[in-house]
Chains A and B, each alone.
Chain A
Amino acid sequence: MSFLRRNRAAFITLAVAILFLAQGVLREETQIVFRKAVNICMECIGLG
């Protein structure tokens, strides 16, 4: 019990993280990330 109490803020943050991840997947943000990540990012490599 003291482990949970001692780390209350971390566990609340973890719960919010899981909810956010689930919401992100439902909103298909993963597809935006994927589309960006599988094409060479011209800005990232310094070509504009």
Chain B
Amino acid sequence: MGKLREHIRTWVQLLFAALTNGYAAGFANGTIYKGASKLVCVPGLNCYSCPGALGSCPIGSFQAVITSRTNKFTFYVIGFLLLFGALFGRLVCGWLCPFGLVQDLLHKIPFPKKLRRLPGDRVLKYLKYIILIGFVIVLPLTVLDIVGQGQPWFCKYICPSGTLFAGIPLIASNPPLRAALGWLFTWKMAILVVLLVLSVAVYRPFCRYLCPLGAIYGLFNPIALYRFRIDAEKCTQCGACRHACKLDISVWETPNSAECIRCGDCRRACPRGAIDTVNPCPVKRKKDA
């Protein structure tokens, strides 16, 4: 049963990635989907230029609206982020993000010395907030071209999800795009390769240190409908939860840490069942009673 529960998350991630990137013809033809569902944002970091993408990336959409001529603020995308944040917090990162899935799968590759965290983790984890404020908000709003239009700085200079899910498949299947390759693609490929290689040794380096979407959802972890609480009567502070946590969180101290992606490993590892959700599933509650 424990093994099955471990695999459920992977299957949910695979299923959600397939459902939201189901336009198979795009991969074959080197094109992207142009249907009405692209009005709607998906919760995870899923580039809208991925040939299979049926929805829009919230971080890309955010920058698209604030760099438009008419709007410098986006009610629509912030509304989406508030909605998913209030319901799930960073559960989205753990269960619904395709780039998170890729990092999870890479971390399953055996490696002689898996690292619990990178050196400088305490400082590095704040980098994602700097990227959010700098590359997603301030630079797109303030660095303007001659016609007064900004650029999507995060998508252009950092986003490895766009390179992996959109850049590589489109360039592989669309010869005219190949002819336009330059230093920017090399730079983005370098970021992607470093993160993918690092993912084998460290659990989810992009989510921990760089992802602006994770930075936003993490702020909602303490108030989201799906959040954890510790039963102080059951908890012996044995540290089993921290040992099981691949993000190295002291769950008994900070059950709603902004770093937690709600994978559930800590709950399975707790020998006394002291970690529960604040709003348990009604069916389970009835069974327990």
Contact = CB atoms under 8 A, between A and B. Distances in A.
Are A and B interaction partners?
yes
B170 A40 contact: yes
B189 A46 contact: yes
Contact of A29 (B71, B225, B278): B71
Interface string B171-182: 100000100111
Interface string B121-164: 00000000000000000000000000000011001100100110
Given A14-B83, A24-B79, A44 B223 contact: no
Contacts of B156: 43-44, 48
Interface string B10-52: 0000000000000000000000111010110100000111000
Nearest to B192: A46
Interface stretch (B57-65, B109-117, B196-204, B233-241): B57-65
Interface in B69-86: 70-71, 74-80, 82-83, 85-86
Nearest to B181: A47
Contact of A34 (B38, B163, B224): B38
Nearest to A28: B70
B152 A41 contact: yes
Contacts of A40: 32, 49, 166, 170, 177
B39 A43 contact: no
Main secondary structure of the interface of B (DSSP, over half): helix
Given A44-B60, A45-B170, A10 B223 contact: yes
Interface in A1-48: 3, 6-7, 9-11, 13-14, 16-25, 27, 29-30, 32-34, 36-41, 43-48
B56 interface: yes
Given A20-B79, A23-B75, A46-B184, A10 B166 contact: no
A19 to B, nearest CB: 8
B188 interface: yes
B87 interface: yes
A21 B64 CA distance: 16
**A-B residue pairs, 8 tightest by C-beta:** A24-B76, A20-B79, A21-B79, A17-B82, A46-B185, A43-B156, A13-B86, A45-B167
Given A33-B61, A48-B184, 5 more contacts: A23-B79, A32-B65, A37-B60, A38-B34, A41-B48
Interface of A: 3, 6-7, 9-11, 13-14, 16-25, 27, 29-30, 32-34, 36-41, 43-48
14 contacts: A6-B278, A9-B223, A14-B83, A14-B86, A17-B80, A23-B75, A27-B75, A32-B71, A33-B64, A37-B55, A40-B177, A45-B166, A46-B187, A47-B185
